[in-house]
C-alpha cells in the first residue's frame, strides 16, 4: 500500500516530495548560476524512505553532474550536458560557446493526490547564443511509496520536438571517437560512497558487461558511509521504448564516479527531422537495502506501467 506524501512547491525554484518525515526528492527548475554547467532542471537530493542519500551533486571531478538530469552531450555541435566537450583528436576541451541550456517555460499540469504527484513541464532547448532548437514536454510522476517494501518510484517521460528548419543530430563522445563513453540522455550521478558499487542486469549480465549493453533494466547497489547498510537504484525502460526513434544502450560506471545513463546515442548518431518528435519513458526505483535479481524481478512483476 502506498503511503501518503507531502508536496511543497517553492514557486520559481523547486518541487519537493516528502514521506514519513523524509524528503525523498527535490526537482529543481530554477536556472543554475554557472552557464558552463549547462543550465537545466535536475533532481537532487534523492533519498530512500530510510533517509539515506543516493544522489551526488557537483562532485569535484565533474561539477556539472547534478543528481538526476536530462542531458545531451553531443547535439548538432552543441553540448547540453555541460562542462568539457569531447573533440575528436583533441580530447576534452573547454568550449563555453558550445554549451546549451534547457529553459523551464511552465508547468502545463500539476496534480497532487494523497499518494502520488504528477506534473507536466514544458521546456525549450536553447543553443548557445539564444536560438531555440527544440520544445520538450516532460512528464514526472512520484508514486508507489511503499514503506513495507522500502521503496518508492519516479517516472520520467520526454517528448522532444525539433523546431529548427534543419535536422537535429544526436550523438555522444563515443560517436565522436572515444571508446565506451556513450553518456547522454537521462543521467544519474551517485554519491561518492557508491564508488565500487554492484551493477546487475537481467540473466547473467552484471558489472562491466552492462556497459553498452541493451537490457530492459539495470540495478545499482551501493554501500553507505556512516551507516551499516546498502541502497539500490533500479533503472527501467518502459515497454514502448523498444519502438523509439533510436535504440538505447546502458552507460554505467561503478568506480570512483558512480553513474548510470539511459544512453539514446551510445554507438551511433541519429537525426530528428524538422518538425518531428521522439519520445522515451523511464522509471527509477529508489530502495533501502541491497536488492538481488530476484527482488528486482518481483518488483517489476508487481508494478506494471500505466
Alpha carbon 8 to chain centroid, angstroms: 22
Yes or no: say if 176 and 86 are a contact pair by the CB < 8 Å rule: yes
Question: What cell numbers appear for 181 in the block?
Answer: 563513453
Question: What cell numbers appear for 263 in the block?
Answer: 544512453
- The continuous run of DSSP H or E covering 247 comes out as none
- Rounded Cα gap, residues 28 and 60, in angstroms: 20
In this predicted structure, what is the pLDDT of residue 72? 98
pTM (predicted TM-score): 0.98
Each residue's pLDDT expressed in tens, for the chain with a length of 306 residues: 799 999 999 999 999 999 999 999 999 999 999 999 999 999 999 999 999 999 999 999 999 999 999 999 999 999 999 999 999 888 999 999 999 999 999 999 999 999 999 999 999 999 999 999 999 999 999 999 999 999 999 999 999 999 999 999 999 999 999 999 999 999 999 999 999 999 999 999 999 999 999 999 999 999 999 999 999 999 999 999 999 989 999 999 999 999 999 999 999 999 999 999 999 999 999 999 999 999 999 999 999 998
The DSSP line for 57-98 is: BS-TT-TT-BSEEEE-SEETTBBSS-S-EEETTTEEE--GGG
Yes or no: say if 151 and 285 are a contact pair by the CB < 8 Å rule: yes
Question: What cell numbers appear for 47 in the block?
Answer: 533519498
The helix/strand/coil state of 33 is coil
In this predicted structure, what is the pLDDT of residue 1? 77
Question: What cell numbers appear for 34 in the block?
Answer: 554557472
CA dihedral 199, 43, 64, 73 (to 10 degrees): 70
- Domain positions in the chain are 5-302
Is CATH 3.30.420 the classification given to domain 5-302? Answer: no
- For CA atoms 168, 171, 175, 177, the dihedral sign is positive
- Rounded Cα gap, residues 236 and 195, in angstroms: 21
Rg of the chain over Cα atoms, rounded to whole angstroms, equals 18
Yes or no: say if 194 and 52 are a contact pair by the CB < 8 Å rule: no
Amino acid at each position: 500500500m502506498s503511503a501518503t506524501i507531502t508536496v511543497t512547491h517553492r514557486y520559481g525554484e523547486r518541487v519537493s516530495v516528502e514521506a514519513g518525515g523524509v524528503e525523498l526528492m527535490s526537482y529543481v527548475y530554477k536556472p543554475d548560476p554557472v552557464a558552463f554547467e549547462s543550465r537545466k532542471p535536475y533532481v537532487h537530493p534523492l533519498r530512500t524512505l530510510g533517509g539515506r542519500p543516493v544522489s551526488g551533486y557537483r562532485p569535484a571531478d565533474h561539477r556539472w553532474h547534478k543528481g538526476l538530469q536530462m542531458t545531451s552531450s553531443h547535439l548538432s555541435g552543441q553540448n547540453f550536458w555541460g562542462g568539457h566537450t569531447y573533440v575528436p583528436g583533441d580530447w576534452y576541451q573547454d568550449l563555453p560557446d558550445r554549451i546549451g541550456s534547457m529553459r523551464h517555460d511552465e508547468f502545463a499540469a500539476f496534480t497532487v493526490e494523497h499518494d502520488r504527484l504528477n506534473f507536466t513541464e514544458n521546456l525549450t532547448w536553447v543553443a548557445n547564443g539564444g536560438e531555440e532548437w527544440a520544445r520538450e514536454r516532460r512528464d514526472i510522476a512520484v508514486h508507489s511509496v511503499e514503506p513495507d517494501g522500502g521503496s518508492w518510484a519516479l517516472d520520467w517521460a520526454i517528448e522532444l520536438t525539433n523546431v529548427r528548419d534543419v535536422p537535429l543530430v544526436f550523438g555522444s563522445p563515443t560517436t565522436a571517437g572515444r571508446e565506451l563513453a556513450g553518456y547522454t540522455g537521462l543521467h544519474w550521478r551517485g554519491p561518492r560512497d557508491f564508488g565500487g558499487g554492484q551493477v546487475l542486469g537481467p540473466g547473467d549480465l552484471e558489472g562491466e558487461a552492462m556497459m553498452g549493453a541493451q537490457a530492459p533494466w539495470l540495478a545499482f547497489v551501493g554501500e553507505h558511509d556512516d551507516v551499516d547498510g546498502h541502497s539500490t537504484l533500479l533503472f527501467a525502460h518502459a515497454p514502448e521504448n523498444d519502438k523509439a526513434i533510436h535504440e538505447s544502450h546502458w552507460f554505467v560506471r561503478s568506480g570512483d564516479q558512480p553513474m548510470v545513463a539511459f544512453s539514446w546515442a551510445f554507438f551511433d548518431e541519429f537525426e530528428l527531422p524538422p518538425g518531428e518528435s521522439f519520445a522515451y519513458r523511464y522509471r527509477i526505483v529508489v530502495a533501502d537495502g541491497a536488492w538481488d535479481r530476484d527482488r528486482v524481478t518481483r518488483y517489476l512483476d508487481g508494478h506494471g506501467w500505466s
